Structure 1
Amino acid sequence: MADYTLEEKEGFTVLGIGTELKSDYTDYAGINKEKADFWQAVKQDGRLDKLKAISTNEYIFTVNEAVNNKMMHYAGVMTEESLPEASRLIQFPKGEYLIVKGEAETAEMLSNMLTGMAFGQVLPEATNVAYVGGPNAAVEMGQRNGLVFGEMWIPVVRK
Structure 2
Amino acid sequence: MTNYTLEEKDSFTVLGIGTELKSHYTDYAGIIKEKSDFWTAVKQDGRLDSLKALATNDYIFVVNEAVNNKMMHYAGVMTEQTLPEADRVIQFPKGEYLVVKGEAKNAEELSNMLTGIAFGQVLPEAKDFAYVGGPNASVEMGERNGVLFGEMWIPVVRK
* TM-score for both structures, normalised by structure 2: 0.99
Using the alignment, how far apart are the partners of 1:16 and 1:107 within structure 2? 17
Give the paired residue count: 159
Cross-structure match for 1:135: 135
1:123 paired with 2:123, answer yes
1:26 paired with 2:26, answer yes
Using the alignment, how far apart are the partners of 1:11 and 1:125 within structure 2? 26
User: How do 1:1-159 residues align onto structure 2 when only pairs under 5 Å count?
Assistant: 1-159=1-159
User: Helix, strand or coil for the counterpart of 1:31?
Assistant: helix
AA aligned to 1:97 is Y
**Identity among equivalent pairs (%):** 82
Q: Which runs of 5+ in 1 are unaligned?
A: none
| TM-superposition CA deviations, 1:70-107 (whole Å, max 9, x none) | 00000000011110110000010100000000000001
| TM-superposition CA deviations, 1:31-82 (whole Å, max 9, x none) | 0000000000000000000000110000000000000000000000001111
> In the TM superposition, what is the alpha-carbon distance from 1:116 to its structure 2 partner?
0.1
Using the alignment, how far apart are the partners of 2:85 and 2:52 within structure 1? 13
Q: Aligned-pair RMSD on alpha carbons?
A: 0.4
AA aligned to 1:43 is K
> In the TM superposition, what is the alpha-carbon distance from 1:145 to its structure 2 partner?
1.0
AA aligned to 2:99 is I
Using the alignment, how far apart are the partners of 1:80 and 1:25 within structure 2? 31
> In the TM superposition, what is the alpha-carbon distance from 1:134 to its structure 2 partner?
0.2
Using the alignment, how far apart are the partners of 2:32 and 2:152 within structure 1? 17
Using the alignment, how far apart are the partners of 1:120 and 1:86 within structure 2? 30
